[in-house]
């Protein structure tokens, strides 16, 4: 049963929450919300940077919320970020241990190469490593033949998957990303593809590596990516870069803040140089992280409500946070605190007994939840307590 009362004395006030500024006191009943806000100016969130990329976006990886963007739905050449979809289609085949024989067509594709040899036999899982870290065009074509039997059949699967994902501004002509008429994607669609890659544990374990080793006929091959962000932003852990004359420098980036646990994506398309691409992606992600905080809403032991005790007339015990209540929240957006507790406790009551919960909400989503516990013991009622309780019960009949 939820506690409901119009008696403000039963709520612990004033309500102070560390870096959260209290805007309203907790209302005098359970199930209502306390409106709290984080002062944006205090935490340094401001206008987004101005990337030099032709199109860009930064978004929350958990909610998909777009924090800032420009030309997000404009189709553009995507270069080797194409290989994210190549990897997803390969994963759909469900055969990472499949041995693929590298075709002459794979070796002949040219430009960015993983150093594959025609006739070489290699597992699909190693081709995916060569694809995503080494950005091997040869690996992309080898995967296409190994999964679908031909490059064109594999491209059909790529476009089918794009349709299934609802990507309305994306079309593939090849599995590697070299410039071709009709081969394009928008920043929004690349964001969705990057999100799908990071949801695949096997692929996520690959894309955070700046270099990787794959087996070869003459021994292990060490491949190094051009994903410079992995070296200049400690929080970065994916996803894929690309470059062609038509696309310029392109990147789908992901980073995870070690303090808040927030994961953000940034997409930049059409940068003029490799260094500019990394700088733009880093700037967007760094700004994005400034929009989040992980404040302590309630310290351990903070009393949030007082509950009457049956068998102990006039006695109310505090219910306190059993653990610190911390939550990762968006800066400047209101948060709410919701408390659920019994309408009364029955003596005897042991200090530390758990009863009720406190929740922190933002945008109607619960971002933190902790149990409440009794903050003070109440002994078993004596005979006088029983008499007083009896009279109170009789009195309530006539009121």
Give residue-wise pLDDT tens across range 73-98: 999 999 999 999 999 999 999 889 99
From 5, 6, 24, 80, the catalytic residue: 80
What whole-number distance in Å separates Cα of residue 290 and Cα of residue 39?
12
What whole-number distance in Å separates Cα of residue 356 and Cα of residue 373?
7
Closest CA to 263 of 237, 233, 287: 237
Closest CA to 280 of 70, 44, 64: 70
The average pLDDT across 227-235 equals: 96
pLDDT at 3: 34
pLDDT at 185: 98
pLDDT at 337: 87
Whether the upstream peptide bond of residue 147 has omega within 30° of 0, thus cis, is: no
Closest CA to 89 of 232, 227, 203: 203
Contact in structure between 229 and 221 (CB atoms under 8 Å)? no
What whole-number distance in Å separates Cα of residue 253 and Cα of residue 124?
24
From 5, 6, 24, 83, the catalytic residue: 83
Most confident listed range (66-80, 286-300, 324-338): 66-80
Handedness of CA 294, 297, 302, 303 (dihedral sign): negative
- Cα 44 to Cα 155, 167, 332, distances in angstroms: 45, 35, 10
Closest CA to 79 of 167, 155, 178: 178
Band (195; pLDDT cuts 50, 70, 90): very high
What whole-number distance in Å separates Cα of residue 289 and Cα of residue 361?
20
What whole-number distance in Å separates Cα of residue 72 and Cα of residue 57?
7
State the DSSP H helix or E strand holding residue 139, giving kind and residue range, or none if neither.
Answer: helix 137-148
pLDDT at 399: 40
- Give residues with Cβ within 8 angstroms of 49, minimum separation 6: 280, 283, 284, 287
What the block records as the tokens of 62 is 């958990």
Question: Is 135 annotated as catalytic?
Answer: yes
- Give residues with Cβ within 8 angstroms of 157, minimum separation 6: 89, 92, 147, 148
3 state DSSP class of 321: strand
Residue 310, pLDDT > 50, answer yes
Q: 8-40+295-397, what's its fold?
A: Peptidoglycan synthesis regulatory factor (PBP3), Domain 2 (2.60.410)
From 103, 135, 186, 326, the catalytic residue: 135
- Give residues with Cβ within 8 angstroms of 289, minimum separation 6: 235, 255, 257, 260, 262, 264
- Cα 193 to Cα 160, 167, 211, 258, distances in angstroms: 13, 9, 22, 24
Question: Is 211 annotated as catalytic?
Answer: no
Residue 352, pLDDT > 90, answer yes
- Kindly report each contact of residues 167-175 with a partner whose C-beta sits within 8 Å and lies 24 or more positions away, as own/partner: 167/192, 167/193, 169/73, 169/74, 169/75, 170/75, 171/75, 172/82, 172/85, 174/82, 174/140, 175/82, 175/83, 175/86, 175/140, 175/141, 175/143, 175/144, 175/151
User: In CATH, what class is 55-289?
Assistant: alpha beta
Beta bridge partners of 209: none
DSSP 8-state assignment for residue 112: S
Q: Please give the mean pLDDT across all residues of the chain.
A: 86
Question: Is 80 annotated as catalytic?
Answer: yes
- Cα 207 to Cα 113, 115, 185, 240, 293, distances in angstroms: 17, 19, 20, 7, 26
Report the b/e string of 137-165 with b at 16+ CB within 10 A: bbbbbbbbbbbbeebeebbebbbebbeeb
Band (387; pLDDT cuts 50, 70, 90): very low
Q: What is the pTM of this model?
A: 0.81
What whole-number distance in Å separates Cα of residue 251 and Cα of residue 249?
7
Q: Provide the H-helix boundaries in the chain.
A: 40-43, 82-92, 104-108, 124-132, 137-148, 151-164, 187-198, 201-207, 229-232, 274-289, 383-397
Residue 10, pLDDT > 50, answer no
Domain segments of the chain: what residues?
8-40+295-397, 55-289
């Amino acid at each position: 049963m939820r506690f409901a009362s119009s008696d403000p004395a039963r709520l612990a006030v004033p309500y102070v929450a560390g870096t959260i500024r209290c805007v309203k006191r907790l209302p005098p009943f359970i199930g209502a919300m306390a409106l709290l806000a984080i002062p944006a100016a205090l935490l340094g969130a401001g206008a987004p940077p101005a990337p030099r990329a032709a199109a860009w976006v930064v978004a929350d990886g958990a909610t998909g919320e777009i924090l800032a963007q420009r030309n997000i739905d404009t189709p553009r050449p995507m270069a080797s970020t194409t290989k994210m979809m190549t990897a997803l289609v390969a994963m759909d085949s469900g055969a990472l241990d499949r041995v693929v024989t590298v075709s002459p067509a794979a070796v002949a594709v040219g430009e960015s190469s993983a150093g594959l040899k025609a006739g070489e036999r290699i597992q699909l899982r190693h081709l995916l490593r060569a694809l995503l870290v080494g950005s091997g065009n040869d690996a992309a074509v080898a995967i296409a033949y190994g999964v679908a039997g031909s490059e064109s059949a594999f491209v059909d699967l790529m476009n089918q998957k794009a349709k299934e994902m609802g990507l309305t501004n994306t079309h593939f002509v090849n599995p590697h990303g070299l410039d071709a008429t009709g081969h394009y994607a928008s920043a929004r669609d690349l964001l969705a593809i990057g999100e799908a890659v990071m949801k695949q544990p096997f692929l996520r374990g690959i894309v955070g590596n700046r270099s990787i080793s794959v087996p070869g006929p003459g021994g292990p091959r060490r491949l190094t990516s051009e994903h410079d962000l992995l070296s200049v932003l400690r929080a970065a852990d994916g996803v894929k870069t690309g470059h062609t004359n038509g696309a310029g420098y392109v990147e789908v980036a992901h980073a995870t803040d070690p303090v808040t646990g927030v994961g953000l994506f940034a997409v930049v398309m059409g940068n003029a140089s490799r260094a500019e691409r990394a700088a733009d992606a880093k700037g967007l992600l760094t700004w994005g992280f400034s929009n989040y905080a992980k404040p302590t809403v309630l310290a351990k032991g903070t009393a949030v409500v007082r509950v009457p005790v049956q068998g102990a007339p006039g006695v109310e015990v505090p219910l306190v946070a059993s653990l610190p209540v911390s939550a990762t929240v968006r800066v400047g957006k209101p948060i709410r605190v919701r408390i659920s507790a019994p309408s009364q406790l029955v003596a005897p009551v042991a200090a530390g007994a758990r009863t009720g919960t406190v929740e922190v909400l933002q945008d109607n989503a619960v971002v933190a939840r902790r149990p409440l516990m009794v903050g003070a013991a109440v002994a078993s009622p004596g005979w006088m307590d029983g008499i007083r309780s009896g009279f109170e019960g009789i009195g309530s009949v006539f009121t």
